[in-house]
Amino acid sequence: MSVLTREEAQIRARLIEVHRYTIDLDLTRGDEHFGSTTTIRFSAREDGADTFVELSPAALHRAVLDGHDLALDPAQVIADGRIPLTGLAEGEHELRVETDMTYSHTGEGMHRFTDPADGETYLYTMCCMSDANDVFTAFDQPDLKAVFDVRVTAPPRWTVLGNGIATRDGDPADGRWRLAPTPPISTYLVALAAGPYHSVHTEHAGLPFGLHVRRSLAPHLEADADELFDITRRCFDRYHEIFDEPYPFDSYDQAFVPEFNSGAMENPGLVTFRDEFVFRSAVTDAERQTRAMVIAHEMAHMWFGDLVTMRWWDDIWLNESFAEYMGFQILTEATRHTDTWADFGIRRKTWGYDADQRPSTHPVAPAPELVPDTAAARLNFDGISYAKGASALRQLVTWLGEKDFLAGINEHFTRHRFGNATLADFLDSLARSTDRDVHAWADAWLRTTGVDTLTPAITTDGGHWHLEIHHEGAPEPARRRPHRIAIGLYDHEPAAPHQLVLRKRIEAELNGADPAARLSFTGPRPDLLLLNDGDLTYTKIRLDPGSWKAAVRSLSGLPDTVSRATLWNAARDMVRDGDLPAADYLDAARTHLPHETDIAIVQGVLAFARTQIADRYVPADQRPAALNTLAATCRDLLRRTEDGSGPGLRLSAVRTYIASATAPAELTDWLDGDTVPGGPALDPELRWQILGRLAVLGAAGPADIDAELARDSSATGQEGAARCRAALPDPEAKRAAWDALFGETDAHPELSNYLVTATATGFWQPEHHDLLTEYVPRFFTDAAATAARRGPAIADALARSGFPTTVDATTLRLGEECLSAPDLLPALRRRLEDQLDDLRRALRVRNEPAD
């Protein structure tokens, strides 16, 4: 199947204009295929135009252009994924294509899922970014917007949802539905969900709002519906306060769908979310905040992406960076979640920092030649386009002022509503609302790669102290971005020496041209000096020796949550860069997490300590001690919350304690008693987590897994069982898991995307190093073959969750040899490049040779 190149898209956009799609989908043709008939009305702008339309059919029945059957070889069309349209006369045309399409089990195209809890079947589409042609015939590029008129035939008792309001068409027994025609939207935003969904409805601002989930999750949706609607209404109202352009579609449905690859997708009128956001087990308030942020993020897309859409995929940041920034900001302004930027700093921003220091980094707004086709564009839905871009926008608002920023984006919406726009268009809108040179700002921030580093040096002179901020750009030290930052000056509280109080917060502008900035002050130096206090810019920071000493003593006593998150990130970066021993980070966590009050910080620090430090950054012989330190930290948190205070902190501690356990006895007691002493009672998630750890430790077997699956036969239970079976320290279990991941036989039918992730996650365990040695070289050959056969979503899952956990030079060498293959699927290549760079970093942190 060929990919669409930028050049092809530009030529096609010049040659044609698309007016309307009429799509008829028949979902009653069995378990493997569905019928898709597409009629496209379009115009050619010149005589003799040659172009094409994309489709990925299982069978091509007929293609009719202006009433005449096209002479096509169906096998060739299926192989090429295109129907050529040659010699078009100037003026209007109508193309009708009748096909059978294949249901997907990878979260792409039209995904089909059968719920093991009750046997019910659910469908949903994921057309982003170039998978619309897996559902219908399409001119599949973002700048050929059109009206979509969709009709559906489904089993009579099913519900059908789409971009427009869905109504039954005729006799309900016929199962016919029609979706209200859309305003002009891009092909990648077309959405459908069908099945016996359980729905909850309300109305707000004159529009129908709906929540939808598979029936087996109905009680959990009902329990959360009020909260979900409250967040939705608050965000909707706040967007209408700051945006001049009203919500541009006829309804707002949110469907929580199974086996969804992304967190969510911003389809206008029908936002789809992964259904893990309908919580069936206990969660922390930070996790509820994350769900709320995703709701706010996707709603922002109704303007940033759906109303005004990028022209080509090099400008995905115009969608994702804005939605990411607005999601956190609107949540802070409109809901009870007022500490969202601490969560952003500790959880999302680190995603951007990590991505931006790998060889695969790219500018937030890459040059056109860096995004030559849709395969390359797919790789840029990453921490740079989301977290770094959002950080850059937060700095832009700090530099520009919120009033001018909002004036610029409102002009942008007005000028380009229901159309397409580029970075240049956006900058022109901003420039008309400010005297600042936004084009120069964009060149420095959006067209560059890497993370700057700010390092303070403090000297004292009698009654004065002097601060010099060394500013190093990356990847070129002399290429520095301008920054507007706050600098926090903190002193120990005399009456409570482990508490820090803010003496003063000062603002500073670093122009980027100078390698250092110098400031002088009267009086004693502060005990702690924190650059980028408030986390308003995107940069790594370092601490001078005196400030690090104060942080080690009093980090949990820093009064502001965002400031603490900034300090923890500084420590994290120092570990990753080899400037702070991993053991020192663990010691800081051991000292301060038992006193931390912010759940997002606790979760972020524990996650880094458990998954990176314990599993990668400390040598194998030091790993048990690292796990024991984490377990002791969690025990302190459990003791602190015995009185029922901080249930979220307690749940976070329980989870990490389970993952860090090195002996099975206590976990076995918890599982048998179905509770943690003092709470919480074990819900399905915790039971599967305990059983998984017992499997790793050799204290649970197949019979235990079968018994737990009988207790929880849900889709999540199936994933838990797959993860546990793959985690057993048994050669036969490892062999069976490997065959399930990579085999292509009747005995091993291809796993869905979620079962691939679950199996791969369970398979690789540092405790099983000797048992897994033979699989390390096999991974690189088998993953390449499976990725080529199953496509980008499975390639990403295999490389993300199935990459060997062995931290050694042999794994690095084998991976580098794999990358030398010229035909490696781009999605696999990109993820492997990142994994291998992380492996090199781990070897450097360990002071072990890479060759």
pLDDT average, residue stretch 199-222: 98
Q: What is the pTM of this model?
A: 0.97
- Whether the per-residue pLDDT at 404 is higher than 90: the answer is yes
Same fold, 6-311 and 453-547: yes
The pLDDT assigned to 645 comes to 86
Look at residue 17 and give its three-state secondary structure.
strand
Q: Which of 220, 191, 197, 223 is nearest to 210 (CA)?
A: 197
Q: Do strands 147-153 and 16-26 pair parallel, antiparallel, or not at all (unpaired)? A: parallel
Rounded mean pLDDT of the chain?
A: 96
DSSP output for 71-126: ---HHHHHHHTEEEEEEEPSEEEEEEEEEEEEPBSSSSEEEEEE-TTT--EEEEEE
Percent of the chain, pLDDT > 90?
Answer: 96
Q: Which residues of 132-141 are buried (b: 16+ CB within 10 A; e: fewer)?
A: bbbbbbbbbb
- Whether the per-residue pLDDT at 477 is higher than 90: the answer is no
Neighbours of 642 (CB within 10 A): 11
Distance CA 413, CA 300 (A): 12
Distance CA 689, CA 681 (A): 13
From 54, 108, 298, 750, the catalytic residue? 298
Distance CA 237, CA 209 (A): 13
pLDDT tens profile 483-509: 999 999 999 999 888 899 999 999 999
- Whether the per-residue pLDDT at 744 is higher than 70: the answer is no
Distance CA 265, CA 271 (A): 6
- Whether the per-residue pLDDT at 748 is higher than 70: the answer is no
The pLDDT assigned to 402 comes to 95
User: What is the number of residues in the chain?
Assistant: 851
- Whether the per-residue pLDDT at 181 is higher than 90: the answer is yes
Q: Which of 444, 508, 448, 503 is nearest to 475 (CA)?
A: 448
Distance CA 759, CA 466 (A): 56
Q: Is residue 39 very low, low, confident or very high in pLDDT (cuts 50, 70, 90)?
A: very high
In sequence order, the 6+-apart residues with CB closer than 8 A to the CB of 641 are: 647, 649, 650, 653
The pLDDT assigned to 817 comes to 96
Distance CA 268, CA 320 (A): 15
Structure tokens at 532: 């980028």
Active site residue 767: no
pLDDT average, residue stretch 211-239: 98
Angle value at C-alpha 42, between 41 and 44, nearest 5 degrees: 150
**Domain 453-547 CATH assignment equals 2.60.320.10:** no
The pLDDT assigned to 211 comes to 98
- Whether the per-residue pLDDT at 747 is higher than 60: the answer is no
pLDDT tens profile 409-425: 999 999 999 999 999 99
pLDDT average, residue stretch 178-202: 98
Q: Is residue 614 very low, low, confident or very high in pLDDT (cuts 50, 70, 90)?
A: very high
In sequence order, the 6+-apart residues with CB closer than 8 A to the CB of 538 are: 349, 352, 388, 391, 392, 394, 395, 451, 452
How distant is the alpha carbon of residue 771 from its chain centre? 33
The pLDDT assigned to 4 comes to 97
Q: Is residue 11 very low, low, confident or very high in pLDDT (cuts 50, 70, 90)?
A: very high
pLDDT tens profile 615-649: 999 999 999 999 999 999 999 999 999 988 889 99
Superfamily of domain 6-311: tricorn interacting facor f3 domain (2.60.40.1730)
The pLDDT assigned to 743 comes to 85
pLDDT tens profile 655-713: 999 999 999 999 999 999 999 999 999 999 999 999 999 999 999 999 999 999 999 99
Per the listing, tokens 């699927």 go with 825
Distance CA 354, CA 352 (A): 5
Domain ranges of the chain: 6-311, 453-547, 730-851
The pLDDT assigned to 220 comes to 98
Output the CA torsion 793→794→797→802 (10° steps): -160
In sequence order, the 6+-apart residues with CB closer than 8 A to the CB of 251 are: 164, 165, 207, 208, 209, 210, 269
The residues facing 134 across adjacent strands are none
pLDDT tens profile 282-335: 999 999 999 999 999 999 999 999 999 999 999 999 999 999 999 999 999 999
- Whether the per-residue pLDDT at 812 is higher than 60: the answer is yes
Percent of the chain, pLDDT > 70?
Answer: 99
